[in-house]
Amino acid sequence: MIEVEGLTKRYGDKVAVDRLTFSVRPGVVTGFLGPNGAGKSTTMRMILGLDHPTEGDVRIDGTHYDRLKDPLTYVGALLDAKAVHGGRSAYHHLLCLAQSNGIPRRRVAEVLDTVGLTAVARKKTKGFSLGMGQRLGIAAALLGDPRILMFDEPVNGLDPEGIHWIRTLMKSLAAQGRTVFVSSHLMSEMALTAEHLVVIGQGRLLADLSMSDFIRQNSRSYVRLRSPQRERLLDVLHQAGITVVEAGGGALEVEGGKAEQIGELAARNGLVLHELSPQQASLEEAFMRLTAGAVEYHAHTGQDAEPQDWGAGWKEA
Ligand code: ADP
Ligand code: MG
């Protein structure tokens, strides 16, 4: 269990984290979602005692991080995978960590196996790919067999296979009853990984709820209609007691309607439909609405940007 209360961090005039209060419970993956610059990394560093709060408090299983004996056996974290010194082998990197934290030597081989680095354990880490570095960072987080794990944007820069592996690992760690707290700026990523969501923007708490509640509250479903006999269609729908809204470009939208019902109604009245399509507002839209006004850096949204990703994330969820 991680408990954050009134947590605040100011850098000069800049408020990076603003009176955050939330808990992260064991047994589920909790997603920590927010746009770039929202304060996720700063919060995670304060949870780990790497940064001192301006105000507020963090407790890990009821205790402050700096009062934990052998903290790696309580909390494991992946903050910045590139922070590994290249001169050592993966094995020695982990062995040094184990020895300075009272962790038995046998754990080194165990975690190397868990993350799939056994074959390259004796190789110097400076030759590692981003994905291998990420796996080594995760091995270090797992070394003390901690009940609490934190991952800061763990899938950034990974290939699909690596992303899939990390998602599966996080879920299995939570299924073992551990507390798993993982940050991302991507709603699509959270939708595939997290059961609970803590959403922040400009350092402030925007939402703290289960993923299923988030989906229920934010996924608007509607049917899109287009007809060359638009006025007659409007009359027929009106008579049937169905509420319709204008959607621009001549299209109509029926909130919460069933396509079958509308199609049959149109057929009975001899109406031609050029479009009859069930639609689902994406979780991305919901996240954008939630964080509107709390976005520090606006992403480029050209044709090649992320909407397709979001869509895929939603469908798989
Ligand atoms: P996130 O991880 O959600 O992208 P960060 O926690 O990295 O956000 O940053 C939150 C805000 O705090 C940003 O505006 C960032 O520029 C600022 N910030 C973070 N670290 C420092 C620092 N050491 N000095 C000054 N400002 C900082
Ligand atoms: Mg960050």
Q: Is the CB of 40 under 6 A from ligand 1?
A: yes
Residue 307 has pLDDT above 60, yes or no: no
The ligand whose atoms approach the alpha carbon of 33 most closely is 1
Using 50, 70 and 90 to split pLDDT, how confident is the model at 96?
very high
Residue of 14, 20, 184 to mutate, ligand 1, most atoms within 8 A of C-beta: 14
Task: Give the separation between CA 135 and CA 122, rounded to whole angstroms.
Answer: 15
Using 50, 70 and 90 to split pLDDT, how confident is the model at 258?
confident
Residues bordering ligand 2, an ion, CB closer than 5 Å: 40-41
195-209, 211-225, 297-311: segment of lowest average pLDDT = 297-311
Could you tell me what percentage of the chain is helix, strand and coil, using 3-state DSSP and rounding each to the nearest 5? 40, 25, 35
Model pTM above 0.75: yes
Using 50, 70 and 90 to split pLDDT, how confident is the model at 46?
very high
Residue 303 has pLDDT above 50, yes or no: no
Q: Is the CB of 41 under 6 A from ligand 1?
A: yes
Q: Would you state the pLDDT for residue 34?
A: 94
Average pLDDT, whole number, for the chain? 87
C-beta separation of 150 from 42 below 8 A: no
**What's the gap in Å between 115 CA and the centre of ligand 2?**
23
Per-residue pLDDT of 65-78, as tens digits, reads 878 887 888 999 99
Strands 179-184 and 29-33 come out as: parallel
* Tokens at 31, concatenated: 């997603």
Quick one: which atom of ligand 1 is closest to the CA of 296? Answer: 14
Amino acid making up residue 52: H
Q: Would you state the pLDDT for residue 136?
A: 92
Per-residue pLDDT of 129-167, as tens digits, reads 888 888 999 999 999 999 999 999 998 878 888 899 999
* Tokens at 55, concatenated: 């105000």
CA of 201: how far to CAs of 90, 288, 317, in Å? Answer: 37, 11, 23
Q: Would you state the pLDDT for residue 159?
A: 86
